[in-house]
Chain A
Amino acid sequence: MELEQKNPLKEFAPQLERTSILGYVWIIFLLMVIGVGFYAFLQQVIDGHEVTGMRDNVVWGVYIVNFIFFMGISYAGALISGTLHLFKTPWRKPIIRMAEFITIIALLIGPCFILLCIGRLDKLYYLVLFGRIQSPITWDVIAISTDIFGCFIFLYLSVLRDLATLRDYELLQLPKWRKKLYTVLALGYTGTPEQQQRLNRASDIMAAMVIAIAIIVYSVLAWIFSVTLQPGWHSTIFGPYFVIAAVYSGSAVLILCMWVFRKIYHLEEYITKKHFVAVGVIMLVLAAFFGYFTFSDYLTKWYGSEKNDELLIQLLFKEFYWPFIISNYLGVLLPLVVVGIAKFRTITNITLTAIVVVIALWLNRYLIVVPTLESPYLPIQDSRPEWLNYSATWVEWSLTATGVAVFCLLFTVASKFITIVPVSGLMKEEKKEDVLI
């Protein structure tokens, strides 16, 4: 009885058992956005890439920007959750599950945008048949598929204790099939010392692996750009720059998730200002690193005065002036001010800053991809003036919105399947506190 009263699962049960009317409205809204995106996708399949803004000169547009963005937040989720797990950070428990969800969900959505870039999806299997190991695209395919497996194993290890808790908590009013599913997925875990030892060992190993893989995979993604001689891409610091930008954007997305779930599921007791400030400080440090890398990259390009680099920098400061300012000035300075100065350090301010950071980092990827392709290194045969400038069409925007909607939908569904805060960890904490008292 005492354990039942102390069991935090009792508090999280409504989250799993019921969906409010507002929740259903939210899901229907997301499905509608996805529906529009599906229609846009059909248009693209029927009419070809003509319905997009991509042409012979600018062959990559917002699809690849979204791919980099989603993969970035995925790796950030892996890095943050892996690091928090390995270092046994005391405040990690209420937010680590969100970071894990971000990893998996973004990792499932990101590669879909690459598929949207491909004109002949029916020839996709050629990549397996004729893929060359020398190509960074092949490295990326191998790396992403390896990463997906690793992240799934890590997530599974992380939720195993909660699956067992959900299986064994009798007061939970769930359909039988869900109970059965929990039973199957819990693998008969009952928390014996040997089981705990094995689970901890596997979790520690996988935490270390997901950190290493996240760094490698995102570096590989950066190398797709940097191994070319294109102005703006051919940079030796692109690997670490991409990794930093990824973790930076991921920390901002984590703050947004924390804010949303704190409000929706009333988790004020579990996700406190302390957590926002802690992740905010991570964001601040990453903002400083991101600013340093950005400045270093553009300074060397500007100082080198190579013709094509100069043209690119002129383009960034003229045609792309505002996106450049938001991305590389506002996106860097705002977290430094808001989180750096104690007076401004409130939950709302940190969340608002996270919104700006997410948008700034998306624009950062746009500025990496589009202006470079608009100023090609080599002249293109039979090119036309109207192909030189890229602008996304409604098809691309709606598929972008679909990506975000799928992210939100999967997050919502995942939070209905397993508690958004690891209850087994909280129970353990409470037990420890009891012993101490």
Chain B
Amino acid sequence: MKRVFAFSILMIAAIFLVLRPMNSFADEKTDTVNTPPESRLKLDYLCVSDSVILTANISIKKGESTLNLENAQATFTASNRSTSKQLGTAKTDQEGNAVIKISCSSLPANMEGVVEYAAAFSGNNKFPAAQATVNAKPAKIRLFFSIEDSLRILKVTATQKNEKGIEVPIPKETVLVYIPRLFSLLKIGEIALDENGTGTFEFPKEIVGDTLGNLVVIAKIEEHDLFGFVQGQNIINWGVHKQFYKAEVPSRELWTPIAPLWMIITLLVMLAGVWAHYAYAVYELIMIKRLSKKNKPLF
């Protein structure tokens, strides 16, 4: 008996030794649960038409986990280092995003027309404060559609305002063209702008639009050092008309709400077979009980 006990303890000890490499992260994880939380704020900038959309994402990092903070208030400001302007406040949603849309006009800009945008989270009892800034110069992208020699042409222009407030072209930049799809934007091409800030692109014919063939076309300058993210969009009915086909018989597949018939039949047959045997066993027990009235005890 002692040998068996000693061996059992030895084996359990050996297992913990063996599992040691697999457990090497365990202590770290337990420690990180007790580490104080750290607030993080990420500010995204997007210039659309004559507006600026600022998105502040507030999250909390605790140990290894990062959680988006809901209902936190973010305060947005714009400045040119010498003067500052309050843009407003917004509360974060479930994803931790607080969004504000403001007009590009009357923003405090420096000599080059660059505006410094800032977002701040003042913190609370549980989480510390956080802030972030981003610099960008407002710009504008316009989209024009035309048909030339039976070709569908998309023309894009990009402009910025000079120190006098007059629109001037943005030359020699790359504009990316997208179509929104179900989950994300589908990139359909790139346009290199000429010195006049203009570029063209032959629009593909096979893109599926809505039932009327309408497509939302988005043109973007992305991650530019001066302009940041600039976006322009327009709608055109150049898409293939979407058609919905109604199946004559509801489809029974692995992925459809209703299961394949063979699966339902197999399951029912098997369950019926099994439960019928159970019922028979229970019936025999009932019969044993009924027979007991006539019987004598065992001893």
A→B interface (CB under 8 Å): 3, 47, 50-51, 53, 55, 132-134, 139, 142, 146, 149-150, 153, 156-157, 160, 164-165, 167-170, 187-192, 194-195, 198-199, 201-202, 205-206, 209, 212-213, 216, 259, 263, 319-320, 322-323, 326, 348, 351-352, 355-356, 359, 363, 370, 384, 386-387, 389-394
Contact = CB atoms under 8 A, between A and B. Distances in A.
A391 to B, nearest CB: 4
A33 to B, nearest CB: 14
A169 B1 contact: no
A187 B29 contact: no
B280 A205 contact: yes
7 shortest interchain CB distances as A-B pairs: A188-B292, A190-B295, A202-B284, A168-B298, A133-B259, A187-B289, A391-B26
A153 B281 contact: yes
Contacts of B284: 198-199, 201-202
B298 A133 contact: no
B26 A393 contact: yes
B249 interface: no
A205 B285 CA distance: 13
Contacts of A212: 274
Contacts of A51: 33
B126 interface: no
A386 B31 CA distance: 13
B291 to A, nearest CB: 5
Interface of B: 1, 3-4, 7-8, 11-12, 15, 18-19, 21-26, 28-30, 33, 63-65, 254-255, 257, 259-260, 263-264, 267, 270-271, 274-275, 277-278, 280-282, 284-285, 287-289, 291-299
A190 B25 contact: no
Nearest to B274: A146
B277 A164 contact: no
A263 B1 contact: yes
B277 A205 contact: yes
A320 B277 contact: no
A146 B271 contact: yes
Given A199-B288, A202-B284, A389-B22, 13 more contacts: A50-B63, A157-B285, A160-B288, A164-B298, A168-B299, A188-B288, A195-B295, A206-B281, A209-B274, A319-B21, A355-B8, A356-B11, A363-B15
B26 A53 contact: yes
Nearest to A152: B278
Contacts of B271: 142, 146
25 contacts: A3-B299, A47-B33, A51-B33, A133-B264, A134-B254, A134-B255, A134-B260, A142-B267, A142-B271, A150-B274, A188-B292, A188-B295, A192-B294, A198-B284, A198-B288, A199-B284, A209-B277, A259-B4, A352-B3, A352-B4, A352-B7, A355-B11, A370-B22, A390-B25, A392-B23
Contacts of A150: 274, 278
A202 B11 contact: no
B299 A170 contact: yes
Contact of A323 (B7, B19, B280, B294): B19
Nearest to A201: B284
A261 B26 CA distance: 37
Contacts of B260: 134
A195 B281 CA distance: 13
Contacts of B295: 188, 190-192, 195
Given A206-B281, A387-B64, A391-B24, A165 B298 contact: yes
Contacts of A153: 278, 281-282
Contacts of B263: 133-134
Given A359-B11, A391-B24, A392-B23, A326 B18 contact: yes
Nearest to A213: B274
Given A202-B281, A319-B21, A195 B264 contact: no
Contact of B281 (A170, A205, A389): A205
Contact of A386 (B22, B64, B291, B292): B64
B4 A351 contact: yes
Contacts of A326: 18
A50 B278 CA distance: 43
Contacts of B282: 153
Given A133-B263, A157-B285, A195 B25 contact: no
Contacts of A55: 64
A205 B255 CA distance: 37
A390 B292 contact: no
Given A201-B284, A206-B281, A359 B15 contact: yes
B34 to A, nearest CB: 11
A322 B14 CA distance: 10
Given A3-B299, A189-B292, A391-B23, A53 B29 contact: yes
A75 to B, nearest CB: 15
B33 A190 contact: no
Given A142-B271, A192-B291, A53 B25 contact: yes
Contacts of B64: 55, 384, 386-387
Contacts of B12: 359
A64 B280 CA distance: 35
B299 A320 contact: no
Contacts of B25: 53, 386, 389-391
Contacts of B26: 53, 391-394
Contact of B30 (A259, A351, A394): A394
B134 to A, nearest CB: 22
B43 to A, nearest CB: 19
A156 B2 CA distance: 36
A132 B289 contact: no
A199 B288 CA distance: 8
B285 A202 contact: yes
Task: Tell me which of B28, B275, B289, B292 has the highest count of chain A C-beta atoms within 10 A of its own C-beta.
Answer: B292
A323 B18 contact: yes
A391 B29 contact: yes
A42 to B, nearest CB: 15
Contacts of A50: 33, 63, 65
